[in-house]
């Protein structure tokens, strides 16, 4: 059940002239699963997000650690829902040999994965992710993956039992702030569950609404338990905003 404080906050922000609603994907719009390739979105959450995108003066976005192309295969949304991959990183400082470097990162991480039973490497457009959820010696596996970064000048982004090596710069906080400035949104609502979502919570202002999904320390002022409650929150936003336009 969503807390009354969050319900009140969601109702408050629906009255602003221009509203941005953004969500992480894994663990937020979709439950966390053992196999990253099987992360099916919670349909009511996506439906509510699409409904919000159809309203005047409401922007929506999904900001994920997955590549944008991979994200698009999981969640079928219209162009009005902005898809941002690679944790919001952009390749502005990546040289002309970036494609070769990305391939080399995936290859190097695959070599590491061969030493750890259960490890999985997920190639991405600006690097690769090393998943070690099913590895017995998690500390050693994550350390071995992080050690690869220095060979390629890649950034290390750590999430829930995953180490990602990423080229370029930027994060979810920079991505969400860029959307706000570009489209002149008055208020932001952001849902996220992972360590990387803290970058987005960190840039939210006093009038914005940050919602942590699940347990763990966070900068967000509000919390829900799972994607089901994310969907309920989005449905409140949708119903309240629709009521204002009638």
Of 88, 36, 34, which is closest to residue 61 (Cα–Cα)?
Answer: 88
User: Cα dihedral angle (140, 144, 149, 150), rounded to 10 degrees?
Assistant: 100
Name the 3-class secondary structure at 4: helix
DSSP 8-state class, residue 36: G
Task: State how far the Cα of 113 lies from the Cα of 194, in Å rounded to an integer.
Answer: 23
* Alpha-carbon separation of residue 24 from 69, 71, 94 (angstroms): 15, 11, 25
Distance CA 83, CA 12 (A): 26
User: With b meaning 16 or more CB within 10 Å and e meaning fewer, what string describes 92-119?
Assistant: eebeeebeebbebbbebbeebbeebeeb
Q: Is 117 a catalytic residue?
A: no
Q: What is the DSSP letter of 174?
A: H
- CA 31/CA 57 separation, integer angstroms: 29
Which residue matches tokens 């570009």?
182
Catalytic pick among 8, 24, 93, 226 = 24
Give the catalytic positions in this structure: 24
């Amino acid at each position: 059940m969503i807390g009354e404080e969050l319900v009140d906050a969601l109702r408050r922000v629906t009255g602003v002239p221009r509203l941005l609603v953004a969500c992480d994907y894994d663990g937020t719009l979709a439950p966390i699963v053992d196999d990253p390739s099987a992360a099916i979105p919670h349909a009511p959450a996506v439906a509510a997000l699409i409904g919000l995108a159809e309203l005047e003066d409401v922007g929506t976005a999904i900001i994920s650690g997955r590549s944008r192309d991979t994200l698009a295969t999981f969640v079928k949304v219209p162009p009005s829902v902005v898809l941002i991959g690679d944790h919001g990183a952009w390749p502005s400082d990546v040289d002309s040999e970036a494609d070769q470097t990305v391939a080399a990162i995936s290859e190097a991480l695959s070599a590491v994965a061969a030493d750890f039973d259960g490890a999985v490497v997920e190639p991405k457009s600006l690097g690769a992710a090393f998943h070690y959820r099913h590895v017995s010696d998690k500390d050693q596996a994550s350390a071995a993956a992080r050690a690869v970064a220095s060979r390629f000048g890649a950034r290390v982004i750590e999430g829930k039992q995953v180490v990602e090596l990423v080229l370029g710069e930027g994060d979810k906080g920079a991505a969400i702030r860029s959307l706000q400035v570009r489209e002149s949104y008055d208020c932001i609502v952001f849902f996220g569950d992972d360590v990387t979502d803290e970058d987005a919570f960190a840039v939210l202002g006093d009038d914005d609404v940050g919602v942590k999904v699940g347990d763990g320390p966070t900068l967000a002022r509000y919390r829900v338990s799972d994607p089901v409650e994310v969907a309920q929150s989005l449905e409140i936003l949708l119903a309240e905003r629709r009521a204002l336009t009638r």
